[in-house]
Structure 1
Amino acid sequence: MQDISSHICQAFGISIQDANVFLAAFKMTELKKNEVFISEGKICNKIGLIKKGLMKCVFKKDGKDVIFEFAYENSFVSDYYSFVTHTPSVKDIICLENTVVYIIDRQQLETLGRTHSFIEGMSRKTNEYLFLKMHDRLRSMMMDTAAERYIRLIKERPDLANRIPQYLLASYLNVQPETVSRIRSKIA
């Protein structure tokens, strides 16, 4: 858990002691490929922190999966909208690989927040990060070409091109799989 502690310290600007207090409230869980972390229709009462593995966040539209996001090592994963609003999730979060994830439930997180003031700062930074990430994704979907979106994704996480099937990358980029093939050919 040392690598995750270091990541938490750097991401949130907290001490190693605070990071260890925060992470001590999490429980490690191993999930298999295709196992569901969060199900559509259920209220999300947990947040995960991925140590190893990959998940997809999926909406359903006309019986097809629409990829909203990928979650991977050192990232938090949750249906944050459902978590905050206490409403049923409108997406599934499913493992694309065998995944090791540390999980904290709502009650544990609230208790931790009441006893440790640094949690409020972490929450604020998380909210700001999620807002900025959503803004960038929305702007990109409206303004960038599919090639620009693909290049940005691969620049941020070069390993994803080999870990995620092409049809899922296409869904995430909001293009057809053939478009991803053409983009890859031009880049190569």
Structure 2
Amino acid sequence: MNNIKNSIRTLFNLSEEEVTIFLSEFNKEKIKKNEVFIAEGGVCHKIGLIESGLMMCVYNKNGNEIIEEFAFENSFITNYYSYLTFKPSQKEIRCIEDTTVYVITRPGLDKLGTLYPFIRDMARKMNEMLFLRNHDRVKSLLLDTPAERYLQLISQKKDLAQRLPQYLIASYLGVAPETVSRIRNKMSTGHY
């Protein structure tokens, strides 16, 4: 929990007391590998903060899974579109590893936002960060090579390449698994 506290304090420039208040409505959950955190088809009413483990956001198209993003330690995870619009989730959020996540529900977050103005400031900053992250992802998909996108992915967390199966990385990059293999081979021989 200390890593989460430090991460939130730094990310939102909060005091120790503010971090404690923010985390007061979160409940710890342990989710097994391959279990679903947010199901496709349901309206999302919760936000997770990952203490340990790895999750992915997955769209299903004609039986094929398309990875939108990965979430790992000290990351927030939710279907933000469904959360904001109250529309059914078009994607599933599932654990890739056994995961420990702290979860806050919509009523809990609404309660905190009503009582503490700094929570509303956090929400605004989170919206800005999500917009920028999505902008960078779309720009990368349009302009960067698969190798550049791979390097961006693994730069987020150094052990990610070892924790993720090649086929999941390929889905995230929008390429065939063989392309990921070629990228890794070129990187290992110093050609990237």
TM-score, normalised to structure 2's length?
0.97
Cα displacement string for residues 1-20 of structure 1 (whole angstroms, at most 9, x for unaligned residues) = 22211110100011111001
What amino acid does structure 2 have at the position aligned with 1:161? A
Match of 1:111 in 2: 111
Q: CA deviation at 1:60?
A: 0.6
What amino acid does structure 1 have at the position aligned with 2:151? I
What amino acid does structure 2 have at the position aligned with 1:25? E
Q: Tell me, yes or no, if the aligned pair for 1:6 and 1:16 is still in contact at 8 Å.
A: no
Aligned runs of 1:150-161 on 2, under 5 Å? 150-161=150-161
Distance 1:118 1:79 in 2: 23
What amino acid does structure 2 have at the position aligned with 1:163? R
Aligned runs of 1:26-175 on 2, under 5 Å? 26-175=26-175
Q: Percent identity?
A: 53
Cα displacement string for residues 71-115 of structure 1 (whole angstroms, at most 9, x for unaligned residues) = 110000000000000010000000000000000100110011000
Q: Tell me, yes or no, if the aligned pair for 1:46 and 1:83 is still in contact at 8 Å.
A: yes
Match of 2:22 in 1: 22
Q: Tell me, yes or no, if the aligned pair for 1:54 and 1:73 is still in contact at 8 Å.
A: yes
Distance 1:135 1:124 in 2: 17
What amino acid does structure 2 have at the position aligned with 1:76? F
Q: CA deviation at 1:156?
A: 2.1
What SS does the aligned partner of 1:67 have? strand
Cα displacement string for residues 114-141 of structure 1 (whole angstroms, at most 9, x for unaligned residues) = 0011001100110000000000000000
Long gaps (5+) in structure 1: none
Count of aligned residue pairs for this structure pair: 188
Runs of 4+ off more than 4 Å: none
Distance 1:163 1:66 in 2: 18
TM-score, normalised to structure 1's length?
0.99
CA RMSD, aligned part only?
0.6
Distance 1:97 1:161 in 2: 14
What SS does the aligned partner of 2:40 have? coil
Cα displacement string for residues 15-55 of structure 1 (whole angstroms, at most 9, x for unaligned residues) = 11100110111000000001100000000000000000000
Distance 1:21 1:135 in 2: 31
Distance 1:141 1:87 in 2: 26
Q: Tell me, yes or no, if the aligned pair for 1:58 and 1:93 is still in contact at 8 Å.
A: yes
Distance 1:88 1:22 in 2: 27
What amino acid does structure 2 have at the position aligned with 1:51? E
What SS does the aligned partner of 2:29 have? strand
What SS does the aligned partner of 1:87 have? coil
